[in-house]
Amino acid sequence: MDRRTFAGVLAGTTAMTMLGCAGRTKESAAESKGAGTAAAAQGGRLALYRSVGEELAQFDVDVAGATLAQRGAVLLPANVQYVWQHPSRQYLYVTSSDSGPGASGVIGANHHISAFRIEASGTLQPHGKPQPLSSRPIHNSVDATGSYSLVAHNNPSGVTVHRINRDGTLGEQVKQPANLDAGIFGHQVLTTPSNRMAIFVARGNDAARGKPEDPGALKLFNFKDGALTNLASVAPGKGYGFGPRHLDFHPTQPWVYVSVERQNKLQMYRMQADGLAREPAFTRDLLVEPHNERPRQLGGPIHVHPNGRFVYLTNRADNAVPYEGQRVFGGGENNIVVFSINQATGEPTLIQHIDTRGIHVRTFALDPSGRMLVAASIMALPVREGAGVRTVPAGLSVFRVGADGRLDFARKYDVDTGKKTQFWSGIFPVKG
């Protein structure tokens, strides 16, 4: 979807026109004329959105040319956390917060979910009043019917649900049971393809500073009329040594693929009548060197290819160490990992690692046709190179996706994030 300018005042929150704003890519202006036309020629417009701090910027997407062209941006009440599109393709729901990331991040007081109407050009327009949230939202999604918005919170771990009105605006919050088991450090919430259950991914936390490990789990809830009730908890090893981040569903089979962030693993679980199998059917390493793990080496987001034949994840590293009076990259893997999926069993087989050309890819997206992938690195960081030091900027790295699922690097758009981070990105179809 395209990100365009808008102006207005929303419940005390200023929405500002952001043409040529901070975070604009260096190459996008030269390509802006052709990208929208090319996208339309493919049978429909696509837009990539990405955030730097509170700014949500819009780009036209040209899949055939593997290019992006920036159009404009909007401002949210605080730093963008996550974005989800309504099934109708007419609305976007954006969560924002002034809390810091991580288990020990700064606790803020400005947390919202906001609705935007998507124009045919991809321009975003405020759509109703932002709804306040009690704590930092780390992920949000919409159920299959488009009737409810679900928000995952990390600290304290929990879920909130808002009704979505017929016109796409956000309605009242749905009261949830007091005994809802949300585990420790929630990171994602999704309804299952049947829409009868929701899965809440609770990452847990590594042992640190004398504090023992917090176990992770996949929390399964019944889901009916916006209300969640406890169903089951999937926590191999009682959740110790199990730190899941995100999951994704196979498009046609009862297979769920899970990125295990804290252990740098991919796991596949089979869905069954009461939710998920209690143990993974398959577990695979993500790292090229699984026995050479560095500090701040983490598994990242996960997406199953639209055709169900491949699954993609990232390895992320951003540890910095002192060197000649400055902090430089301390080493680690920053790559995209590609697995093929056995269509009879769901077993994943590693087929590729490819460098992201950036530091710490927190999010990436496939276009709906599965022919293009864009990876967003969150920050710039100096890197030692021979006897010298060069800075690797944050950016949007664009890859072509082959028929065999493998990635081929096309280009990178450098992004000046200043003192902020490029925290989220996604590609959506725009309804004409």
**165 within some domain:** no
Mean pLDDT of 16-38: 40
DSSP string covering 48-104? EEEEETTEEEEEEEETTTTEEEEEEEEE-SSEEEEEEE-TTSSEEEEEEESSPSSTT
* Residue 154 falls inside a structural domain: no
Q: CB burial class (10 A; 0-12, 13-18, 19+) of residue 398?
A: buried
Cα–Cα nearest to 238, from 216, 263, 213:
216
Task: Give residue-wise pLDDT tens across range 291-349.
Answer: 997 999 999 999 999 999 999 999 999 999 999 999 999 999 999 999 999 999 999 99
C-alpha 92/C-alpha 348 separation (Å) is 32
Provide the strand spans (E) within 102-196: 111-118, 124-126, 131-132, 137-142, 148-154, 157-164, 170-174, 186-191
- Residue 289 makes CB contacts below 8 A (sequence gap 6+) with 333
Average pLDDT, the chain: 91
In-domain check, residue 185: no
| Residue 233, helix vs strand vs coil | strand
In a domain, 144, yes or no: no
The domain of 324 spans 8-90+113-126+213-429
The whole-number average pLDDT for the span 362-377 is 98
Q: Does the residue 161 lie in any domain?
A: no
Of 5-14, 33-42, 76-85, give the range with the top mean pLDDT.
76-85
Lowest-confidence region among 32-46, 129-143, 161-175, 319-333? 32-46
Q: How many domains does the chain have?
A: 1
Specify the residue for token string 């992938």.
Answer: 373
Report the alpha-carbon distance of residue 182 to residue 217 in Å, rounded: 9
Cis check: omega of the bond before 156, within 30 degrees of 0: yes
Residue 121 maps to a domain: yes
Distance from C-alpha of 49 to C-alpha of 420, rounded to nearest angstrom: 16
* CATH number of domain containing 20: 2.130.10.10
At 19 the three-state DSSP class reads coil
Predicted confidence (pLDDT) per residue in 52-83, tens digit = 999 999 999 999 999 999 999 999 999 999 99
